[in-house]
Amino acid sequence: DATTADELWLLEHPPVFTLGLAGKPEHVLDAGAVPVLRCDRGGQVTYHGPGQVVLYTLLDLQRAGLGVKRLVDTLEQAVIDLLAECGVAAERRAGAPG
């Protein structure tokens, strides 16, 4: 819907492993009591938990005039710039966007 507002969600998850489209249960060596959930994002296994801040974007990319690659590049550069302001060196890794 063209009138839906764009949103950014910044949050912390309880402990969870997510398996992306390329993820396999055997990629999680020992989950212990941490739930393992399949999801439809790209990638393999990702751990989310307390102390880790996650940003979700709910954006109408067409309305913003952005493609997925440009959005990821823009968000990645924003994080690199923010870390630099905090004195933390960060850089892009070729072949591993995001």
Instruction: For residue range 2-51, list pLDDT tens digits in order.
Output: 788 999 999 999 999 999 998 888 888 888 899 998 999 888 999 999 99
Identify residue 25 by its one-letter amino acid code.
P
Angle at the Cα of 90 from the Cα atoms of 87 and 41, rounded to 5 degrees: 130
Cα separation, 95 vs 98, in Å, equals 10
Instruction: For residue range 74-98, list pLDDT tens digits in order.
Output: 999 999 999 999 999 999 988 887 7
Angle at the Cα of 7 from the Cα atoms of 47 and 2, rounded to 5 degrees: 130
**Taking a C-beta distance cutoff of 8 angstroms, is the pair 21, 41 a contact?**
yes
Alpha-helical segments (H) within the chain: 61-64, 68-85
Taking 3-state DSSP, the helix, strand and coil percentages for the chain, each rounded to the nearest 5, stand at 25, 20, 55
pLDDT value at residue 6: 95
pTM: 0.71
pLDDT value at residue 27: 87
